[in-house]
């Protein structure tokens, strides 16, 4: 499994908040899906309010 660093923003109340998450998945698409699920469940934000700006494979 590979490590991916996912960066983006999500809407919380009336402000956009930046996030950076490192997830361990097989590919870039599953890294996006896992990040959407984690941010959504932790902050009670719908997927349409989460914007992923970049996904990069980490060397760790």
Strand partners, 42: none
Tokens describing residue 15: 């402000």
How many other C-beta atoms can be found within 10 angstroms of the C-beta atom of residue 47?
11
Q: What is the third-level CATH fold of 2-54?
A: Ubiquitin-like (UB roll) (3.10.20)
Question: Residue ranges of the domains in the chain?
Answer: 2-54
The model's pLDDT over 2-23, given as tens digits with 9 standing for 90+, comes to 999 999 999 988 999 999 999 9
| pTM of the shown model | 0.89
The model's pLDDT over 26-55, given as tens digits with 9 standing for 90+, comes to 999 999 999 999 999 999 999 999 999 999
**Predicted local distance difference test score (pLDDT) of residue 23:** 96
CB 25 within 8 A of CB 2: yes
**Predicted local distance difference test score (pLDDT) of residue 60:** 64
Q: What is the mean pLDDT of the chain?
A: 95
**Predicted local distance difference test score (pLDDT) of residue 13:** 87
Q: What is the C-alpha to C-alpha distance for residues 45 and 23, in angstroms, rounded to an integer?
A: 19
The SS3 assignment for 37 reads helix
- Residue 45's alpha-carbon distances to 16, 33, 38, in angstroms, are 12, 14, 10
């Amino acid at each position: 499994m590979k490590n991916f660093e996912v960066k983006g923003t999500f809407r919380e109340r009336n402000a956009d908040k930046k996030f950076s998450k490192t997830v361990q998945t097989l590919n870039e698409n599953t890294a996006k899906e896992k990040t959407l699920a984690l941010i959504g469940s932790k902050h009670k934000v719908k997927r349409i309010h989460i914007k992923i700006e970049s996904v990069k494979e980490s060397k760790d």
